């Protein structure tokens, strides 16, 4: 089984998301799954820690200019849209491109990111068998 995790971390956000995904990845790997992480190269990322845990990582570049949204294409920006570092539509393109080059037969795409929503997940649906979204709702 091939499992892809789409999660980011930086010096200001997401470390807990990566830790949660690593816990799940370790459990899946013990059962024979191949787990690969896709993360954007934010300052303060957890790349070294992911590698130390024995997982492959596909790196998405961080653009030179930090872009929160593009109003002409993003009429409903999320509260945490800035955490992505680029427009969510660009993240779809970047993620699909890196997956096409490096991963075949994706059984599960696991998403743990507050800046990626149902629009992103719907666009990614064609490249994997199943999608799972990890999300905590604060009440």
Structural domains in the chain plus CATH codes: 2-133 (3.40.50.11190)
How many Cβ atoms are within 10 Å of 63's Cβ, its own excluded?
A: 13
Contact 10, 86 (CB under 8 A): no
How many Cβ atoms are within 10 Å of 6's Cβ, its own excluded?
A: 25
How many Cβ atoms are within 10 Å of 118's Cβ, its own excluded?
A: 8
121 or 101: which leads in pLDDT: 121
Question: How many helices (H) does the chain have, and how many strands (E)?
Answer: 4, 5
Q: Render pLDDT for 88-120 as a digit per residue (tens, 0 to 9).
A: 888 999 999 999 877 778 999 999 988 888 889
- Kindly state the average pLDDT of the residues 123-135: 92
Q: Render pLDDT for 44-90 as a digit per residue (tens, 0 to 9).
A: 899 999 999 999 999 998 877 655 544 445 566 666 666 677 888 88
Q: How confident is the model at residue 25 (pLDDT cuts 50, 70, 90)?
A: very high
Q: Which residue bears the tokens 């599960």?
A: 108
pTM of the entire predicted model: 0.86
Model pLDDT, residue 86: 81
């Amino acid at each position: 089984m091939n499992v892809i995790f789409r999660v980011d971390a930086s010096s200001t956000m997401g470390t807990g998301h990566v830790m949660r995904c690593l816990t799940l990845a370790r459990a899946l790997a013990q059962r024979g799954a191949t787990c690969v992480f896709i993360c954007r190269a934010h300052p303060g990322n957890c790349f070294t820690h992911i590698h130390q845990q024995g997982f492959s990582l596909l790196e998405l570049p961080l653009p030179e200019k930090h872009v929160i949204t593009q109003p002409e294409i993003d009429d409903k920006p999320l509260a945490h849209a800035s955490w992505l570092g680029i427009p969510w539509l660009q993240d779809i393109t970047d993620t699909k491109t890196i997956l096409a080059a490096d991963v075949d037969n994706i059984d599960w795409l696991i998403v743990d990111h507050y800046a990626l929503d149902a629009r992103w997940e719907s666009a990614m649906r064609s490249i994997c068998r199943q999608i799972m979204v990890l999300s905590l709702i604060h009440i």
